[in-house]
């Protein structure tokens, strides 16, 4: 039998051991974590809808009409008119022919990728794609070829030398880097090589595009350009669940073949109705997105001026690159000592040697919240050429 205890010890020594914090009360920037009040900069609730009073009211009202449980899978007797309504709303909102609900984005990627590619087919996957895409690729049993991050020329060359059914899959906004995939060029190369393009817009949906329809809309791309669009409802949409939007024929096919759609209980129907309400809030969320952008822009300027190493991202995902696992943990702890919650992201979530603090912004943050983050960052500022880590470990030792 494997020595699980020693594996856990090794993880601790390598700075890779993960712990959960227990949150009390609602998800919002002022968070109670392990009983302690912290100002959080690490949630994916980009628009601040996770604790919006209108949504809570919408859920209460819906519950009295629909009851609570989903009770069965969609294909048995779980497909409620509330789900149907949300699917229609999502299709209209994203400008697609139809949409299909999944219980989570993780399950949507597993189901969609493994349904649309199989043994003998080839999947081309961006090197920095989310874990759920990687797992979907494995589950499909197709040949998987990873292409260098965002490198459309390399992808084109790989597509040119491959015959048979080809599927290309990419994050719309990369979850740990915050950069946006070159979707226009990807759509073009996929068309040239007759490959099916799947975009997972978990972090673009609600945030990018003229009305928050996501990264694909930001580039003005249609269903012809990007036939398969995956989105989660647990991030900017502020509830839970996920969807796939696609042409009718693919939707029909997914209902027949996507096992993570078929063999699981439908989400509580009231949640689907509350999510319809949040789609309205996303559509009307111009001011929220503008505020989010102003927080992001100001952070980029001021954190860079403090000497931190930022990444080329214009989205609310603004990682501070550190590199070493322990140094990243030390910076995270130093910030926590000053009342801030910014989680350290380490391998295998990011490549070896690229551990970072993943700072994220929400429209629920105020500029005063951002002041606090910047002040704390200034307190453990890297003084060149001394790395950030040395500064922050020293602070860490003093205050913790």
345 burial (CB, 10 Å; 0-12 / 13-18 / 19+) is: buried
Build a one-symbol-per-residue string for 153-182: x at contacts with ligand PLP by CB under 6 A, - elsewhere: ------------------x---x-------
Give the closest residue to 93 by CA, choosing from 266, 217, 220: 217
Give the chain's end-to-end CA distance (angstroms, integer): 38
CB 74 within 8 A of CB 254: no
CB 253 within 8 A of CB 183: no
Within 10 A of 310 (CB to CB), how many other CB atoms are there? 17
Q: Does 114 bind ligand PLP (CB under 6 A)?
A: no
Contacts of 5 (CB under 8 A, 6+ apart): none
Q: Does 121 bind ligand PLP (CB under 6 A)?
A: no
CB 55 within 8 A of CB 281: yes
Residue 385, preceding bond cis, omega within 30 degrees? Answer: yes
| Residue from the set 29, 48, 70, 105 that interacts with ligand PLP by CB under 6 A | 105
Instruction: Please report, as residue ranges, which positions from 289 to 328 form the binding site for ligand PLP (by CB under 6 A).
Output: none
CB of 215 to ligand PLP, least distance (A): 11
Beta strand spans in the chain (E): 23-24, 30-33, 36-40, 98-102, 122-126, 143-147, 166-171, 195-200, 228-232, 242-246, 317-323, 340-341, 344-345, 355-360
CB of 288 to ligand PLP, least distance (A): 20
Catalytic one of 52, 80, 83, 203:
203
Q: Does 234 bind ligand PLP (CB under 6 A)?
A: yes
Q: Does 205 bind ligand PLP (CB under 6 A)?
A: no
| Residue from the set 87, 121, 177, 200 that interacts with ligand PLP by CB under 6 A | 200
Q: Is 257 a catalytic residue?
A: no
CB of 104 to ligand PLP, least distance (A): 3
Q: Establish whether 64 is an annotated binding residue.
A: no
Q: Is 36 a catalytic residue?
A: no
Give the closest residue to 325 by CA, choosing from 303, 352, 343: 352
- How far, in Å, CA of 168 to CA of 148, rounded? 13
Nearer to ligand PLP, 173 or 395 (CB): 173
- How far, in Å, CA of 59 to CA of 19, rounded? 31
Nearer to ligand PLP, 29 or 105 (CB): 105
CB 349 within 8 A of CB 176: yes
Q: Does 202 bind ligand PLP (CB under 6 A)?
A: yes
Q: Does 106 bind ligand PLP (CB under 6 A)?
A: yes
Residue number of the CB closest to ligand PLP reads 105
Nearer to ligand PLP, 38 or 133 (CB): 133
Give the closest residue to 37 by CA, choosing from 397, 341, 399, 366: 341
| Residue from the set 55, 109, 114, 296 that interacts with ligand PLP by CB under 6 A | 109
**Radius of gyration in angstroms for the set of CA atoms belonging to the chain, rounded to a whole number:** 22
| Stretch near ligand PLP under the rule CB under 6 A, chosen from 162-170, 199-207, 318-326, 339-347 | 199-207
Biggest CA–CA distance in the chain, Å, is 64
CB of 22 to ligand PLP, least distance (A): 19
Nearer to ligand PLP, 181 or 392 (CB): 181
Q: Establish whether 18 is an annotated binding residue.
A: yes
Q: What are the C-alpha distances in Å from 241 to residues 86, 113, 209?
A: 11, 17, 21
| Stretch near ligand PLP under the rule CB under 6 A, chosen from 86-94, 104-112, 370-378, 384-392 | 104-112
Return the DSSP state at 181: P
Q: Is 235 a catalytic residue?
A: yes
Q: Which two tokens stand for residue 45?
A: 């609730």
Nearer to ligand PLP, 260 or 389 (CB): 260
Q: Does 358 bind ligand PLP (CB under 6 A)?
A: no
Torsion from C-alpha of 186, 190, 195, 201, nearest 10 degrees: 30
Q: Does 203 bind ligand PLP (CB under 6 A)?
A: yes
- Residues marked as binding? 18, 105-106, 130, 175, 203, 232, 349
Catalytic center residues: 175, 203, 235
Which residues carry a binding-site annotation for pyridoxal 5'-phosphate? Answer: 105-106, 175, 203, 232
User: For binding to ligand PLP (CB under 6 A), which residues are involved?
Assistant: 104-106, 109, 130, 132, 171, 175, 200, 202-203, 232, 234, 242
The binding site for substrate comprises 18, 130, 349
């Amino acid at each position: 039998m494997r020595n699980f205890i020693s594996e856990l010890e090794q993880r601790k020594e390598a700075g890779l051991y993960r712990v959960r914090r227990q949150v009390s009360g609602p998800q919002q920037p002022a968070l109670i974590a392990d009983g302690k009040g912290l100002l959080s900069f690490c949630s994916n609730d980009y628009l601040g809808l996770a604790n919006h009073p209108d949504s809570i009211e919408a859920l209460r009202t819906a519950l009295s009409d629909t009851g609570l449980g989903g009770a069965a899978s969609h294909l048995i007797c779980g497909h409620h008119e509330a789900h149907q309504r949300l699917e229609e709303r999502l299709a209209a909102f994203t400008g697609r022919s139809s949409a299909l609900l999944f219980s989570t984005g993780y399950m949507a990627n597993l189901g969609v990728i493994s349904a649309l590619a199989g043994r003998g087919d080839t999947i081309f996957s961006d090197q920095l794609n989310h874990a759920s895409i990687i797992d979907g690729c494995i589950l499909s049993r197709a040949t998987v070829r990873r292409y260098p991050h965002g490198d459309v020329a390399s992808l084109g060359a790989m597509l040119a030398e491959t015959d048979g059914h080809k599927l290309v899959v990419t994050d719309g906004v990369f979850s740990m880097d915050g950069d946006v995939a070159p979707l226009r060029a990807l759509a073009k190369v996929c068309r040239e090589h007759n490959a099916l393009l799947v975009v997972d817009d978990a972090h673009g949906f609600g945030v990018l595009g003229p009305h928050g329809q996501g990264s694909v809309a930001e580039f003005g791309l249609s269903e012809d350009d990007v036939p398969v669009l995956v989105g989660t409802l647990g991030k900017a949409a502020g509830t839970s669940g996920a969807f796939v939007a696609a042409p009718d024929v693919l939707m029909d096919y997914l209902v027949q073949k996507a096992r993570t759609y078929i063999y699981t209980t439908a989400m509580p129907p009231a949640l689907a109705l509350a999510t319809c309400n949040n789609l309205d809030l996303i559509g009307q969320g111009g001011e929220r997105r503008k505020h989010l952008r102003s927080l992001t822009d100001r952070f980029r300027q001021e954190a860079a001026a403090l000497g931190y190493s930022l990444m080329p991202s214009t989205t609310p995902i603004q990682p501070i690159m550190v590199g070493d696992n322990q140094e990243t943990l030390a910076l995270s702890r130093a910030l926590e000592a000053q009342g801030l919650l910014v989680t350290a992201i380490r391998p295998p979530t990011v490549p070896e040697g690229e551990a970072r603090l993943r700072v994220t912004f929400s429209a629920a943050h105020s500029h005063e919240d951002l002041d606090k983050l910047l002040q704390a960052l200034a307190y453990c500022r890297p003084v060149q050429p001394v790395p950030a880590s040395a500064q922050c470990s020293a602070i860490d030792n003093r205050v913790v």
